[in-house]
Amino acid sequence: MTDSGSSLPPEFVSAHADVLTVVHMPVMIDGQIYAQDPANIDRELALALALGKPVKTSRPAPGQFSEVYTALAERGFHGVVSIHISGELSGTADAARLAAQDGPIPVEVIDSRTAGLAQGFLVMDTVEFLEREDDDAAQVPSSSSEISGPANGADSASDVGEKLEPSSAEIADPVEQIFQKIRTLCTTAVPTIDFAVPSLDQLRAGGRISVAASVLGSLLSVKPILHLVDGKLQVLERVRTTPKVFARLLELAIQEAERSEVPVRFGVQSFGSEELARQLARDLESHTKYPVIITSVTTVLAAHTGAGVLAICCAPER
């Protein structure tokens, strides 16, 4: 399970819908609350931002998580992994923890300490890890004990459920063993994300960055490049023109890849700057053996970054 701050590619969500649940983070545009993302939400948000209308976001209610946890338990899952946007940016992980306290099955809530596709890569890696665990379990001789996953035959989950099987008598709690492996996965070689915004006004209005940083950016008429450090937004650099922003984002991503001891995967995100995103992806192709993911900055994030945001995520190979 995760939240819409993860910016997962829609095709990945669809392909793993039996084991992956995405809880939407509400967006309020000019007084109207969108608990789910309707088809025209991007246009509505872009228009509101252009006209200077108030745009706000909030965390999902604990009750939303409780409903999902209960539904997963009824489907036969034995545990839930809930990976969420940085607690420095949202109270979503706190809401998940509140719901988990009374959940019908064990729930491991993980504060990703990041956002966007950096969080999304952690979710995708978790899904694929658990699928490998299921494949390994399927190879175990039938004489071995097994704790099955969903009673209806669904496969293992990302932040959702799993087929879990203790491989030996010393494993007292196979669910906790899986949780421990995922905690390690989510805190080791965490993906990085750098992004450029037209201004810091929206981030300041939403309390995601200091007033001083916002005012300085406005006075200098620069396009800030930001990154996440231990879950907090920080201004990395200030660049004066769009071409220089593009070049610097690309340079930062390539440098990150060169520093990595393993091959990396790239993801590019945008909201209102789709052509630049496609060009960035083309320029990154020669620096990775993996396809470069292109996806939108989800509305809950774009509500704070403003239109014109451009981001690159760099994730080490697992």
Tell me: do 198 and 88 sit in the same domain. no
pLDDT of 199 reads 66
Question: Domain for residue 242, yes or no?
Answer: yes
Task: State whether 197 and 304 are in the same domain.
Answer: yes
Contact 103, 115 (CB under 8 A): no
Residue 41's pLDDT is: 85
CATH number at residue 249: 3.30.1180.10
What backbone phi and psi angles, to 5 degrees, belong to 248? -70, -40
How many domains is the chain partitioned into structurally?
Answer: 2
Query: Which one of 187, 207, 225 terminates a domain?
Result: 187
- Does 289 lie in the same domain as 276? yes
Out of 187, 213, 242, pick the residue that ends a domain. 187
Asked if residue 110 and residue 220 are part of one domain, the reply reads: no
Same domain, 266 and 307: yes
pLDDT of res. 201: 63
Q: Which residue range forms the structural domain that includes residue 260?
A: 192-316
243 and 134 belong to one structural domain:
no
Strands 22-23 and 2-3 come out as parallel
Residue 55 lies in a domain: no
Residue 52 tokens read as: 């200077």
Query: Both 104 and 180 in a single domain?
Result: yes
Kindly list the averaged pLDDT for each block of 10 residues, start to end, along the chain of length 318: 95 94 92 78 87 90 96 94 96 97 96 97 95 66 35 41 43 84 92 86 55 45 84 88 91 96 96 94 97 94 89 95
Q: 168 and 214 share a domain?
A: no
